[in-house]
Amino acid sequence: MNSSAELAIDKLRQLGIEYDSLSHEAAFTMAACLPIERALGAPVVKNLLLTTRNRDRVILFLTDDKPFVTGAFSRAAGTSRLSFAPDDMMLALMGASPGSLSPLGLMFDEAGRVRVLIDEALREQPRWAMHPCDNTQTLALDQASLLQVFLPATGHPYEWISV
């Protein structure tokens, strides 16, 4: 487990957030996460880090496994066309590399640069699964714990969005 993951798990413990944990082979795709979802009994959330061309806006988008269309999302988010953030930006802001991105990485964005948008499709899911900034482990926790305890502790508000 990498140090970002250890710090994220420590943060959950400090906040009193309970979670179930599963260690596994590195899971780089949503397809690789299907057996993990079944084992944990919670959907693995797809996390996308997006930015504008001049990198002045950064968005973490949490969604389900539906196809992602950048133009439609940009319109729904009310921003100019977005693209995927480069690996170095993901590491600097979120403490994660591609395939390991997680809302738990928001604890590393101390300047509050990242705007959090969550797909309405996830609203009815009471538990979400996510990597703790390391794709060889997945944690399942209550949606309410993430949204009402973890995000406020990191200083990140969130918005629901229909795409």
Per-residue pLDDT reduced to its tens digit, 6-54: 999 999 999 999 999 999 999 999 999 999 999 999 999 999 999 998 9
Q: Strands, E, within the chain: which ranges?
A: 20-23, 46-52, 58-63, 82-84, 114-119, 127-130, 137-142, 158-161
pTM of the model: 0.95
**Tokens describing residue 121:** 């499709």
Per-residue pLDDT reduced to its tens digit, 41-97: 999 999 999 999 899 999 999 999 899 998 899 999 999 889 999 999 999 999 999
- Number of domains within the chain: 1
User: In this structure, what CATH number is given to the domain that contains residue 76?
Assistant: 3.90.960.10
**Over the chain, what is the mean pLDDT?**
95
In which domain, by residue range, is 98 found? 3-161
